[in-house]
A and B are shown apart, each in its own frame.
Chain A
Amino acid sequence: MQRYDSTQTFCLGIEATADDFSVGILNFKGKVIANVIDAFTPETGGIHPREAARHHAKVAGKVISMAFQEAGIKPRDVTIVAFSQGPGLGPCLRTGATVARALASYLSVPLVGVNHCVAHIEIGKLSTGAWDPVTLYVSGGNTIVSAFDAGRYRVFGETLDIAVGNCLDVFAREAGIRQCEGMSFGAKVEKLAGEGKKLADLPYSVKGMDLSFSGLLTAAVRLLKSGKYRLEDLCYSLQEVAFSMLTEVTERALAHTEKREVLLTGGVAANKRLQAMLKAIAEEHDSRFCVVPKQYALDNGAMIAWTGILAYKHGIVTPVEMSFVRLKWRLEDVNTPWVKE
């Protein structure tokens, strides 16, 4: 085997599953040397997949140059290129994949397709030192409770309809809250919730290990339109109910798997109230609570690059003809030979 210096071997990761286009560069030891995120923020409404993809195509070149600048390395120093192959929005994924293919063939380096959900778990493990956690992955597109079991990341519970982040976002938009630089809908809802006191009656919907947020959203919007509640109180109630549901299901998975760690990851992980709830159950079950640092909570290229490294070290590469995007790639279907129980 050829000897190599793992601190001088680099992976460039491209993330483009939804509204963020991001490029991260890590060395093979797992040190993040660049992580540049460019978010697509629509003026009104949600993410239109094609518009987001157009944004990604526009900023791709700039973001890649910025990443190389931040990392202080040259394109020729890159050993592999990793990209998010799925799950996500088709047009966005395809744009990211096109950029990755072009870059890999230009540099004549291997390409590695990465599952976005696995990447969120892996960056959480890397940045917190968690080894074998029950993971709650919460974002605008996903709500999954998972743990490693019998060779795969298994899904123990998930949303049956919309993601919790989507629930909070749509509620915020219905309430006329404006998103601004550095402050997402989730962060604004959290801030308003901090001033809420009165608990509104909202449906708590846990079905075994699975969750449902669409009824909760409808009920919250209905109360909002009725004008009988202050917005602060509704944000507070929405958070309390939604997060209690998430915590209950995570606790169930924890009790069932008897793991010793709880990992909170994904965009909604930044919420302090959710962190506090999960910390409480982790303590109750003598487990360690880990939360992903803010810079790796949202979709980012670093997590893709790191997962690409793990896969590549275990002989996984994605030939260009196999690099089609996988819009509905489930967590359980991912081969993860690097994870040991």
Chain B
Amino acid sequence: MLIKKGAEASLFLEDWQGRKVVMKRRLPKKYRLPDIDEEIRTYRTLHESQLLHYAKEAGVPTPTIFMVDLADSNIVMEFVEGKQVKQILNDLSSEERQRLCKHIGEFIGCLHYNDIIHGDLTTSNMILTPSGKMIFIDFGLGEKTVELELRGVDLHLMKRAFQSTHFRYAEECFNAVLEGYAKVVGGKMAKKVLGKISEIERRGRYISERRKIED
């Protein structure tokens, strides 16, 4: 049964060896040339399954993987019951929202501390289970790298996600994320990444503060 049709992959809820699982299928995209398409699908399937594993090692809960099929670009993984952070964030009290965001920041910190870049940090890619556990999903655009630049891009994406989907609370949410982030990676590192974020923003197009800040 199709549960989510994303842009990049489709998620199917299936019964597999007596278990309720999610099958993440990267179906061929007709608009792309087969050569480009196959390379992207295989690359992302492989990397996603590796990164899901690395994330667990870093202490960030992710769905358990049961099978990876590179030929068809499929990943079979645990079905996580719960709600997307996106669905609940706007309805929380300010205090709860900040606590949750700080927790998100800590997890992002754990990933970055271990050289893992999520690549698509949005509130739809974090699931809160009924028992209150947070699970990070969708590492399809992730990377393993020591580059500071990509840490900045990663957090900048998170900021952008807050601004587009939770614009009323964007600032308080992102500040809480940064607080949790700094707690894990350390103040010095957090400051470096923060500097990178403002550099990326200045590089971005039509930012009024771009010229004011000296290089």
Contacts and interface: CB of A to CB of B under 8 A. Distances in A.
Contacts of B197: none
Interface string B22-34: 0000000111110
B93 interface: no
Contacts of A159: 205
A280 B29 CA distance: 9
A240 interface: yes
Given A160-B200, A252-B8, A206 B141 contact: yes
Contacts of B203: 160-161
Given A161-B203, A206-B141, A209-B160, A255 B31 contact: no
Give 3 closest A-B pairs by Cβ, nearest first.
Answer: A328-B206, A251-B7, A252-B7
Interface string B129-162: 0000000000001000000000001000100100
A87 B206 contact: yes
Interface of A: 87, 142, 149-150, 154-156, 158-161, 199, 204, 206-210, 240-241, 244, 247-248, 251-252, 254-256, 276-278, 280-281, 284-285, 327-330
Contacts of A251: 7
Contacts of A256: 7, 124
B91 interface: no
A156 to B, nearest CB: 6
B18 interface: no
A150 B167 contact: yes
Contacts of B30: 280, 284
13 contacts: A87-B206, A199-B35, A206-B141, A240-B36, A244-B36, A247-B31, A247-B32, A248-B7, A255-B6, A276-B31, A278-B31, A285-B5, A330-B206
B207 A328 contact: yes
B207 A207 contact: no
B164 interface: yes
B7 A160 contact: no
A159 B205 CA distance: 8
A255 B7 contact: yes
B108 to A, nearest CB: 14
Contact of B31 (A208, A252, A254, A280): A280
Given A149-B164, A280-B30, A248 B8 contact: yes
A254 B203 CA distance: 26
Nearest to A281: B31
Contacts of B153: 160, 207-208
Contacts of A161: 203
A186 B86 CA distance: 40
What class of interface size applies to chain B in its complex with A?
20 to 34
B197 to A, nearest CB: 13
Nearest to B6: A255
A208 B5 contact: no
A199, A206, A207, A285 interface centre (most CB from chain B within 10 Å): A207
Question: Chain A's interface: helix, strand, loop or mixed, by majority?
Answer: mixed
A161 B206 CA distance: 11
Interface in B36-77: 36, 40
B120 A208 contact: yes
A241 B32 CA distance: 8
Interface string B179-215: 0000000000000000000001001111110100000
A244 B31 CA distance: 7
A280 B122 CA distance: 26
A204 B119 contact: no
Given A255-B5, A255-B7, A328-B205, 17 more contacts: A156-B164, A158-B204, A160-B203, A208-B121, A208-B141, A208-B153, A240-B32, A240-B36, A241-B36, A244-B32, A247-B31, A248-B7, A256-B124, A280-B30, A281-B7, A329-B206, A330-B206
A199 B36 CA distance: 9
A21 B61 CA distance: 56
A276 B30 CA distance: 10
Nearest to B35: A199
Given A150-B167, A199-B36, A207 B119 contact: yes
Contacts of A142: 205
A276 B207 CA distance: 33
A160 B204 contact: yes
Nearest to B32: A244
A161 B164 CA distance: 20
A240 B34 CA distance: 11
A284 B2 CA distance: 15
Nearest to A244: B32
B35 A328 contact: no
Contacts of B205: 87, 142, 158-159, 328, 330
Contacts of B122: 208
B210 A328 contact: yes
Contacts of A281: 7, 31
Contacts of B141: 206-208
Given A207-B153, A277-B31, A328 B208 contact: yes
